[in-house]
Amino acid sequence: MNPLKSVPGTIILGFVTAIVVLAVLGNGELNAWSLVVWLHVLAGVVWIGLLYYFNFIQVPAAGAAAADTDGPGPAAINKYVAPRALFWFRWGAVGTWVTGAAALEVMGVGLMNAFTLSNGAAVIGLGAWMGTIMLFNVWVLIWPNQKKILGIVSASDEEKASAKVVALMASRTNTFLSIPMLMCMIAYGHGLPF
């Protein structure tokens, strides 16, 4: 059976390969810091990758599909792609935030120091604040409004029109925040002075 023929098989193969690399090159050692940071980056790639997909690919494509009077319209994207992508998007956000909080603790920074921007934690703390705002936007602004847009919950045409604006602005806010947030993470993790 080829594991690449299914998503779960592909993911399992990825984790098994990572464990083999660790065993061969890392003498089988994986400390808590390395594990938590690795999981944080992995979850972050899922979350931010989907954020960029929505903003750079899906939203413009759905707009073009809606404007194309001779085309199929955005129905297939809205029915089959968006709900699945939004599932991974919102849980990727949770996974990123939880593993980020765990990383702050394991690294010795501490959540309190990060969120109060104290004890040398200003740059990573600022990144943590941006990530927290982004998580809020996903669960409080984007997801509830996407449910209206996609017809997962009933909404009038006026409510859908309003939901589109709120979801788009929250998503664009997350897109612009992701850029300095990633810079803060890289700066702290690589000892760059700030």
pLDDT band at residue 34 using 50, 70 and 90 as cut-offs: confident
Q: Is the pLDDT of residue 14 over 80?
A: yes
Contact 184, 126 (CB under 8 A): yes
Q: Is the pLDDT of residue 26 over 90?
A: no
Nearest residue to 92 (alpha-carbon basis) of 123, 53, 129, 65: 53
Q: 18-51: buried (b, 16+ CB within 10 Å) or exposed (e) per residue?
A: eeeebeeeeeeeeeeeeebbebbebbbebbbebb
Contact 79, 149 (CB under 8 A): no
Query: Per the structure block, which two tokens stand in for 101?
Result: 């909080």
Q: Is the pLDDT of residue 30 over 80?
A: no
Contact 36, 82 (CB under 8 A): no
Q: What's residue 24's pLDDT?
A: 82
Q: Is the pLDDT of residue 28 over 80?
A: no
Q: What's residue 137's pLDDT?
A: 98
Cα(40)–Cα(126) distance, integer angstroms: 17
pLDDT band at residue 193 using 50, 70 and 90 as cut-offs: low
Q: What's residue 31's pLDDT?
A: 76
Give percent of the chain with pLDDT exceeding 90: 73
CA angle 43, 90, 4 (to 5 degrees): 55
pLDDT band at residue 75 using 50, 70 and 90 as cut-offs: confident
Q: Is the pLDDT of residue 194 over 60?
A: no
Q: What's residue 16's pLDDT?
A: 93
Question: What are the phi and psi torsion angles at 106 (to 5°)?
Answer: -65, -35
The sign of the dihedral angle between the CA atoms of 56, 58, 61, 67 is negative
Query: Per the structure block, which two tokens stand in for 40?
Result: 């944080």
Q: Which range (25-29, 43-47, 127-131, 176-180) has the least confidence?
A: 25-29
Locate the DSSP E strands across the chain: none
Q: Mean pLDDT in the chain?
A: 92
What's the mean pLDDT in 169-175? 98
Cα(139)–Cα(119) distance, integer angstroms: 30
